[in-house]
Structure 1
Amino acid sequence: MATVSAKVFEHHKKTDGTYNVKICVHHKSDRRYFDTVHYVVKKQLTAKMRIKDSFVNDLVDEQLKGYRKVISELGEKINFFTAESLREYLREKDADVDFIKFCQMHIEQLKKEHRIGTAGTHRTVRNSLIDYFKRDSVSITEINSNMLVSYERFLRGKRTMTRIVTEDGQTKEKASNGLSDSGVHCHMRDLRTLFNAACNMYNNEDLGIYRIKHYPFKKYKVGSAPLTKKRNNSLEEVMTIRDCLTKVGSRAELAKEIYMLSFYLCGMNAVDFYHLTKKDVRNGRIDYNRAKTQGRRKDNAFISIKVIEEAKPLLEKYIEKLSIRYSTYGVLDTALSQGMKQLRIQTGIPAATIYWARHTFATVARNACRISKDDVALALNHVDDEHRTTDIYIEKDWSIVDDVQIKVVGLLRRLDMKMAAKQKKETSLENVA
């Protein structure tokens, strides 16, 4: 049987001469304590440290009655609690949830799990909520369906964002023209993910604990992602990027070579290059777990990619060097973005990012090489939700990935030969003339 009582301890006397009244939770032969808002002085206590002040006693008794009512309502569920968990339940049951504070806790946990990309998108959501509410403390009850409609309009509109850019608190203003349909969808999807994570932390359906009693996304629908514009380059543009003359050690050179390395290695992500070690390269293959989905898949998003000839010098140049050169992946990502911007200006290619190398590899594999979507998905290290059960029975055959890889790169090689032959012919004609 769980009981609660008020306690004051002699050795907890504060420098101002007061004592905090604590609540003692006794359950399963164990005791846990937590503070109250009540303080007393020596003259309000008996010789045995019991409260004799009637006013304070009435306040504390009222609080204890509330806790005893909560314990009674739990019924048989009380057996699933320890003294520690019961203390936390009584203390936090009616406490408000600061959603901004929760978001920060969740982001820090994502970083510990090396889910840096997800942490970054969730940080963007947290920052935009602070922009919207104009404060850094927001009750989760304020995240409701009406607010989400208003918030969506806010995201689509022009605004100026203030961000802290240095450790000593210096800020920088950044203008935003508003998000596109795709941007809004991704933003609201991530907000829903954060809200769901808060529900998972603060609610316990088995014990009937619901600190978050509402669910705004039941009325406000995020919907499916809108169709996006193509995010792939042609093989001719890939060649242009590869052959672009860049200054040694420049960000443009870095971006060019990481783009090509990604293309050669089945769209491998820059974050995975950042964390790659020489131990991950065995028998001419890279064996790694894709950082983006590692923590969400039973196979830990493992894949094995063959290191083809074109990739060898680039891999040797950057493996275990990126994490030394750049303190975090975020710093590397910024350098790559700036490098790609320089490449776009230099080559005249209107659109290209590091991630476009992955899209380009997939598009060439499917549309030019006519490879099945299932095999393209395998090469990209994607999971088909419709075939999750079937995948349990089938052992991964990495030679399928090798076939996809060599067919895509083979097209680039043939285009090289074709261009070389054309150039040779033109040179011969010039010599004849």
Structure 2
Amino acid sequence: MATVGIKIHKHHKKADGTYNVKIRVAHKGEKKYLDTPHFVVDKQLTAKCVLKDATLKQILNKTLDDYRVTISTLGPKLEFFNAETLRNHLRDKDEPMDFFKFCQNHIEELEKEKRSGSAGTLKTVLFSLKDYFNQNALSPLEINEWMLSSYEKYLRGKREIKRMNQGELRKRIVKGMTDGAVHNHFRDLRILFKAAMKHFNKPQIGQIRIPYCPFDNYKIVDTPETRKRNLDIERIKLIRDCNVEPGSRAEMARDLFMLSFYLCGTNAVDLYYLTSDNIKKGRIEYNRRKTKRRKDKAFISIKLVKEAKPLLEKYLGKLHTRYCRSHALDRAIKEGMDVVNKNAGLSGITYYWARHSFGNLARNKCRMSKDDVALALNHMDHGNKVTDIYIEKDWSIVDEVQANVVELLVDRNEPKTKRLINPIEQRRTMRLVSA
């Protein structure tokens, strides 16, 4: 049986000598507490810290009676609750739904889980919605098919946005979104909306505050075919040998692009968080942050090849102090790559091309198998999940892929220290030697 009552914790006395009056919710042997807007001092309490102020008790008893009625109306559904969920139900039952407030709380939870990438894209959606509605609160019921259609037109047009920058509110004009940007934006808005439905709706007790999802009837524009971001080896050499100003963002962008290429397409966010603790016995070992929610935590072990070593030593542990967040590093790399493109006589190449190019060259130039390339890129093999339970990952396969791709950068007119490694031939030779 669930009960509610007034509770004041003696050890919660504040610096100004007051105590917050709380409501105790007890259910299934557990107790949880609700804060109230009421504060009391010692003279309003008994020696056992029990409230004796008659006026305040009368006010609180009305709240307790309301909670008891709510609990009674639940009937058999009360069994679906524990003390915490019942406390939350009593607290939120009369609170109006605010989609903006929910989104902000949801984003903060993602940031606590160190999912800064997901939090960043959802934060962009939240800011844009606030621009569109120009109000401080929004009911999720205002998001429907007609609103989505109007919102899409708004996003595709040139518009003014206001953002806080270094403590100042600044305005700027942004151009309309492309099909790809609209697709991604609406995909993230749908993620937020469905999370809100899960938060506000309690079907087990028949409480459906958001009755339907407008995205079920609204067709999000298809994303255009992804542009191939593959560089041939000659253009990668142009980036490697590009002359830039020492200490500039362009130098950092060039170096990190090549470091990513040498390290099997390592993402910038992973380079940002790398420390000396990730270097073990000549290998770089880390959990890829973009997909670390996988069961294997997206762990990968990559050999620290000689080409990558001076670059890693140059930036290891320093990106963290130079940039407060990984997103700031991303922006700096983007600006730096613009200069690299100009100086190298190239166009439109971004940092992420290093990862795409590594995979493409490994498969099409070095003739490595798709499975081996996927392992080197730390991709999840959705088609062989059961098989993966039996097979232990062999990082020497990644070493073979890496060695073959890095070998391509050796100039043709220079003597090669070793010929291109054929993994099948190498394994055959190893078997002969061991025999």
TM over 0.5: yes
| Cross-structure match for 1:215 | 213
Distance 1:205 1:301, change over 3 A: farther
CA distance in 2, matches of 1:329, 1:84: 36
1:32 Cα offset (Å)? 4.8
Distance 1:64 1:364, change over 3 A: same
Residue aligned with 1:188, SS: helix
Match of 1:247 among 245, 248, 255: 245
Amino acid at match of 1:311: A
Give the fraction of aligned pairs with identical amino acids, expressed as a percent.
51
Distance 1:206 1:256, change over 3 A: same
Distance 1:376 1:52, change over 3 A: closer
| Cross-structure match for 2:17 | none
1:90-117 Cα deviation digits (max 9, x unpaired): 2312423322222222222222222222
The equivalences for 1:134-149 within 5 A come to 134-149=134-149
| Cross-structure match for 2:430 | none
The equivalences for 1:117-128 within 5 A come to 117-128=117-128
Amino acid at match of 1:191: L
The equivalences for 1:185-334 within 5 A come to 185-206=183-204, 208-222=206-220, 225-294=223-292, 296-334=293-331
1:225-277 Cα deviation digits (max 9, x unpaired): 43122223222211111101112111111000000000111100111111111
Distance 1:389 1:100, change over 3 A: farther
Amino acid at match of 1:332: L
Of 187-196 and 303-312, more deviation after overlay is shown by 187-196
Give the conservation status (yes or no) of the 8 Å contact 1:159–1:175: yes
Give the conservation status (yes or no) of the 8 Å contact 1:182–1:228: no
Give the conservation status (yes or no) of the 8 Å contact 1:288–1:302: yes
CA distance in 2, matches of 1:31, 1:125: 34
CA distance in 2, matches of 1:112, 1:23: 28
| Cross-structure match for 1:362 | 359
CA distance in 2, matches of 1:329, 1:336: 11
1:302-344 Cα deviation digits (max 9, x unpaired): 0011111111111111111111222222222222111111112
Amino acid at match of 2:249: R
The equivalences for 1:10-49 within 5 A come to 27=27, 32=33, 35=36, 49=54
CA distance in 2, matches of 1:32, 1:164: 36
* Matched pairs, number: 392
TM norm structure 1 = 0.80
Give the conservation status (yes or no) of the 8 Å contact 1:94–1:211: no
| Cross-structure match for 1:351 | 348
1:338-389 Cα deviation digits (max 9, x unpaired): 1111112222211111111111112222222233332222111111322223
Give the conservation status (yes or no) of the 8 Å contact 1:275–1:320: yes
Q: Which runs of no fewer than 5 residues in structure 1 stay unpaired?
A: 12-19, 38-46, 422-433
1:206 Cα offset (Å)? 4.7
Of 77-86 and 121-130, more deviation after overlay is shown by 77-86
1:121-169 Cα deviation digits (max 9, x unpaired): 1111111111111123222222223322222222222212221111x2x
| Cross-structure match for 2:389 | 392
Distance 1:390 1:148, change over 3 A: farther
Amino acid at match of 1:107: I
CA distance in 2, matches of 1:224, 1:362: 26
